[in-house]
């Protein structure tokens, strides 16, 4: 077909705006090398991608958008017209995500009870995973911790009474270094950013551990994470692919087509870079779990999906009767 023919064909296709983070295994879709059958993909760049979450949940700004799992679950419960396909572009363990203030005296997880811990917002997915681990693995009463937050939840109204807002404009990192909070989450969930969590904000550079600076709650976090995975089969989900429900109503085949395109995009990346040299964190995680660092599909992720729903219920983010069997749109999702 000549160029004119291609142009005519493209005009017949529906446009599909897609907002994803920066992942080598999703790039072929965004570049147009892999197609979603029947659609012309229009990438929308939002950096960092968490700047797109609220825009999708509150305004349905995109057709397809990567979302944090806890935010997606809460949006579904509140009736936001979103559904999803079981593609999880980002995975990571969270045992290393809590740092303790110098002089806090925190040595074991139970020492967190009665303390103040900084986190961007109570319902961020990282916090859901960490609280779940602290409660199930170490018996910590998370209700005895005060959670100091400096941002709004994407879905409001579910935070418990032991959440307090930081109002003086200082960052969680500043509060941690000053000893005014006893511990804090690292990275985008806490101390690892400068500015508000919206498009255009920048992450702060990670600082090496110092004798006179904050220290990790778990010194051997990667070992503990691997042991937890081997015992439970839980490999924390850190994103999923959401899409507008009205698009699925118009075309019930869209979820299958979208899943197939994302799976093919991943297949091509793995074929070109089987050692995950383009994303070294995933190479390390592949060693930890002795397998695929980003498995797609329902069956391959059953234990992790069950855990994020269970933790969210236990932490008051979801109702007890939340329908965990209807997380995804109807479609064909072979493990990939």
- pLDDT tens track for 144-199: 999 999 999 988 889 999 999 999 989 999 999 999 999 999 998 999 765 554 44
- Asked whether residue 333 is assigned to any structural domain, the reply reads no
- Asked whether residue 108 is assigned to any structural domain, the reply reads yes
The pLDDT tens digits of the residues spanning 24-41 come to 999 999 999 999 999 999
Whichever domain contains 66, its CATH number is: 3.40.190.10
- Asked whether residue 25 is assigned to any structural domain, the reply reads yes
Q: Is 319 exposed, middle or buried (0-12, 13-18, 19+ CB in 10 A)?
A: exposed
Statement to judge: residues 226 and 129 lie in one domain: yes
- 285 Ramachandran zone, left/alpha/beta (phi>0; psi -120 to 50): alpha
Q: Which long-range contacts (CB under 8 A, 24 or more apart) does 102-107 make?
A: 102/179, 102/212, 102/213, 102/214, 102/215, 103/179, 104/179, 104/182, 104/183, 106/182, 106/183, 106/217
- Spell out where the chain has E strands: 14-19, 39-43, 64-67, 82-85, 98-100, 116-119, 146-149, 163-165, 183-185, 193-194, 202-203, 215-216, 240-244
Domain boundary among 175, 197, 232: 232
Range of the domain at 26: 3-91+236-326
The mean pLDDT value of the chain amounts to 92
The pLDDT tens digits of the residues spanning 259-310 come to 999 999 999 999 999 999 999 999 999 999 999 999 999 999 999 999 999 9
| Enclosing H/E stretch for 282 | helix 280-289
Instruction: Report the largest interatomic distance among the alpha carbons of the chain, rounded to a whole angstrom.
Output: 71
User: In whole angstroms, what is the distance from residue 298 CA to residue 292 CA?
Assistant: 15
Statement to judge: residues 77 and 116 lie in one domain: no
Domain boundary among 168, 198, 232: 232
pTM of the model: 0.92
Q: Which residues contact 307 (CB under 8 A, 6 or more apart)?
A: 132, 232, 234, 236
- Asked whether residue 130 is assigned to any structural domain, the reply reads yes
Statement to judge: residues 79 and 112 lie in one domain: no
Query: What is the number of structural domains in the chain?
Result: 2
User: In whole angstroms, what is the distance from residue 228 CA to residue 95 CA?
Assistant: 10
Statement to judge: residues 167 and 242 lie in one domain: no
């Amino acid at each position: 077909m000549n160029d004119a023919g291609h142009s005519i064909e493209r005009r017949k296709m529906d446009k599909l705006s897609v907002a994803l983070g920066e992942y080598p295994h999703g790039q072929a879709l965004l570049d147009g090398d892999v197609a979603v059958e029947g659609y012309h993909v229009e990438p929308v760049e939002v950096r960092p991608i968490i700047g797109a979450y609220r825009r999708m949940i509150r305004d349905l700004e995109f057709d397809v958008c990567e979302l944090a799992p806890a935010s997606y679950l809460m949006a579904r419960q509140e009736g936001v017209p979103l559904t999803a396909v079981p593609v999880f572009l980002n995975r990571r363990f969270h045992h290393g995500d809590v740092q303790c203030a110098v002089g806090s005296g925190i040595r074991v997880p139970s020492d967190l009870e009665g303390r103040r811990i900084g986190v961007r917002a109570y319902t961020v997915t990282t916090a859901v995973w960490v609280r779940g681990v602290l409660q199930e693995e170490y018996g910590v009463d998370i209700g005895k911790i005060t959670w100091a937050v400096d941002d709004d939840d994407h879905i409001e109204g579910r935070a418990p009474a032991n959440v307090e807002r930081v109002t003086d404009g200082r960052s969680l990192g500043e509060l941690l270094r000053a000893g005014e909070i006893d511990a804090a989450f690292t990275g985008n969930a806490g101390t690892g950013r400068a500015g508000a969590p919206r498009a255009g904000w920048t992450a702060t550079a990670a600082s090496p551990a110092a004798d006179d600076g904050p220290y990790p709650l778990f010194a051997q976090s990667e070992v503990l994470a691997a042991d937890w995975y081997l015992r439970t089969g839980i490999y924390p989900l850190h994103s999923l692919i959401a899409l507008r429900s009205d698009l699925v109503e118009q075309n019930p085949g869209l979820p299958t087509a979208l899943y197939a395109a994302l799976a093919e995009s991943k297949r091509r990346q793995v074929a070109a870079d089987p050692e995950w040299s383009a994303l070294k964190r995933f190479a390390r995680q592949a060693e930890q779990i002795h397998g695929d660092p980003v498995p797609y599909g329902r069956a391959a992720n059953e234990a992790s999906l069950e855990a994020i729903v269970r933790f969210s219920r236990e932490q008051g983010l979801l109702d007890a009767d939340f329908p965990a069997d209807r997380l995804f749109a109807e479609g064909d999702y072979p493990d990939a």
